[in-house]
Structure 1
């Protein structure tokens, strides 16, 4: 048997001749996945049946390079389209069981004799290749998913700090939603970078969309205002809501000597654009 299995050409030829048998057995093994084959093809243009046959050929060839490359390709595809990992695991395990059925059929039909040593050698070769595929797939899936999440995080952070140019040296920073300590630090970083890169001389910060700021956030915000001034940019605060003003007064905090305040964004824009003319 060992000599027969070492001759991969014979095995691959047998596999090619029995593709229909392999596919039929695979579909019977992968009970939960078989109903999702068309859906996965539509969502990610991933042909599970064709890819299963590719994987079997790579495993039979004992091609580490092809197995790893294919696993990376599959990992990125599944991560990109957020396909369910449980389906992938069930599918590969079904491929494993089906491949062993096919090899058993091959041995029976060829009437080959083999000993335990031959069997365990074959078992290790095949299962090591399939395990390598799974390990590489999951690592690549996880890494690519992390990259996507980081990209989305950066996108959200950029959208949450929309610094909008009004003139060549004046910008608006409209803030909305919840302003916590983490977001305040992101805003500070984005503001300092924008002042440096865009040469901003006047930054109008509109807080009309912020309903609440706790003491720690107010303190962080004031530090940002001080840093803005130190960089030669004039901060203008607009849209302070009564709730925030009352909270600042109770804490004994004020923007006095730190920034100019204006009731509305519209009034501040009108005032400072007219000064440029």
Structure 2
């Protein structure tokens, strides 16, 4: 009878044969084993044995945990997913071959044979599923962290005096970036004890209505922090959109035509 412990023992006792079959099944991936080891310190042959033993041994928890670790390692080094997919399918085909090779002398039940074959397929699929989830999760988290870093770097609050700072805004804005601006602005107002924050919008050609509403809340938050928001550099179409949406700008918020004019006025007040 072909049992999982028999296949596991066969792999343990015939590791060279297992690797030889695997390399034949792996096709182009076989030639990249050494480069992957150098690039990511990932030993495909050693890991293949671990995966195979977990699969035939029905060690689901260990298999999932190993898949998650592999997914992170593969993502960290930006290794090609197509290579990983082909390698795992090569492990599947290798296990099939070992199963068929050893079954004629040991089969007591056809049902047991196909049950083990199904276990192999299910185990490999389980590994792939958790590998890709782990890989994608790591990449998504990395992208989010990189985006946060970029957004914070592109939201510079520049002190120009002991109580005045400038926040120049440039480029396209969405709700996510507006949240970053709010977080950075409010924290810097508190940290630097800013009494006047000049927000220059000359680099903003347009903002959609939803983001504009978020921006209005940012300005309100600045006021609640005890700082005076001053808007400069409004483009005509942006000013028109603000007016048409009924935004509360211009009533109790200072608006200056240019950043230079605002700086001249506020710095003159400070030094006079």
Task: Tell me the TM-score normalised to structure 1 length.
Answer: 0.76
Given candidates 247, 272, 276, the residue that maps to 2:267 is: 272
CA contact (8 A) 2:169 2:204 kept: no
Counterpart residue number, 2:185: 191
CA contact (8 A) 2:230 2:254 kept: yes
| Residues 8 and 165 of structure 1: CA distance in aligned 2, closer, same or farther (over 3 Å) | farther
The question of 1:63 aligning with 2:33 is answered no
| Residues 100 and 196 of structure 1: CA distance in aligned 2, closer, same or farther (over 3 Å) | same
RMSD of the alignment, in Å?
3.6
Counterpart residue number, 1:158: 152
CA distance in 2, matches of 1:82, 1:265: 46
CA contact (8 A) 1:236 1:262 kept: no
Report how far residue 207 of structure 1 moved.
3.3
CA contact (8 A) 2:163 2:193 kept: yes
The question of 1:82 aligning with 2:78 is answered yes
| Residues 213 and 60 of structure 1: CA distance in aligned 2, closer, same or farther (over 3 Å) | closer
CA contact (8 A) 1:235 1:259 kept: yes
CA contact (8 A) 2:36 2:42 kept: yes
CA contact (8 A) 2:54 2:63 kept: yes
Report how far residue 99 of structure 1 moved.
1.8
Q: What secondary structure does 1:232 align onto?
A: coil
Counterpart residue number, 2:27: 31
Q: What secondary structure does 1:162 align onto?
A: coil
CA contact (8 A) 1:12 1:60 kept: no
* Count of aligned residue pairs for this structure pair: 267
| Residues 39 and 13 of structure 1: CA distance in aligned 2, closer, same or farther (over 3 Å) | closer
Report how far residue 65 of structure 1 moved.
3.0
Report how far residue 10 of structure 1 moved.
3.5
Report how far residue 193 of structure 1 moved.
4.5
Which segment drifts farther, 192-201 or 42-51?
A: 192-201
| Residues 158 and 112 of structure 1: CA distance in aligned 2, closer, same or farther (over 3 Å) | same
Counterpart residue number, 2:253: 258
The question of 1:123 aligning with 2:117 is answered yes
CA contact (8 A) 1:23 1:49 kept: yes
CA contact (8 A) 2:196 2:230 kept: yes
Report how far residue 266 of structure 1 moved.
10
Given candidates 243, 248, 270, the residue that maps to 2:239 is: 248
Stretches of structure 2 lacking an aligned partner (at least 5 in a row): none
CA contact (8 A) 2:107 2:113 kept: no
CA distance in 1, matches of 2:242, 2:183: 26
Stretches of structure 1 lacking an aligned partner (at least 5 in a row): none
Report how far residue 271 of structure 1 moved.
5.4
Pairing of 1:198-277 with structure 2 (within 5 A):
198-208=192-202, 210-214=203-207, 216=209, 221=215, 224-238=218-232, 240=233, 244-245=235-236, 248=239, 255=250, 257-259=252-254, 261=256, 263-264=258-259, 268=263, 272=267, 275=270
Counterpart residue number, 1:98: 94
